C-alpha cells in the first residue's frame, strides 16, 4: 500500500503517505489490511501471515500496532 495509518500522540490515527514515515512512527494495521512497511509488532494479538510475498493481517482478530524500523 502507498499509505499507512500512523498513530498520533493522542491515540487517534491519521492516514499518511508511506513516503513521510520515519523510524519510530507507530502504525495501526487492521484485520484484512496489508502491512505497509517493515517494523516490529508492539501491541495487539493479530497473526500476520505472508501471502505471495505480501504480509497480511489475518481477519477476525484485534488491531495491531507496529513500530516502524
Strand partners, 65: 28, 43
Q: Specify the pTM.
A: 0.71
What confidence tens digit (pLDDT) does each residue in 19-63 have? 999 888 988 888 778 888 888 777 776 666 666 666 666 655 445
Q: CB neighbours (10 Å) of residue 16?
A: 15
Instruction: Give the pLDDT confidence score for residue 42 in this predicted structure.
Output: 77
Least confident of 3-7, 12-16, 45-49, 52-56: 52-56
Amino acid at each position: 500500500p502507498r499509505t499507512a495509518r500512523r498513530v498520533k500522540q493522542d491515540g487517534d490515527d491519521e492516514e499518511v503517505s508511506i513516503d513521510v514515515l520515519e523510524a519510530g512512527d507507530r502504525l495501526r494495521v487492521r484485520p484484512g489490511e496489508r502491512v505497509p512497511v517493515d517494523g516490529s509488532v508492539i501491541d495487539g494479538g493479530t497473526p500476520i501471515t505472508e501471502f505471495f510475498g505480501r504480509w497480511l493481517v489475518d481477519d477476525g482478530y484485534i488491531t495491531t500496532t507496529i513500530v516502524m524500523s
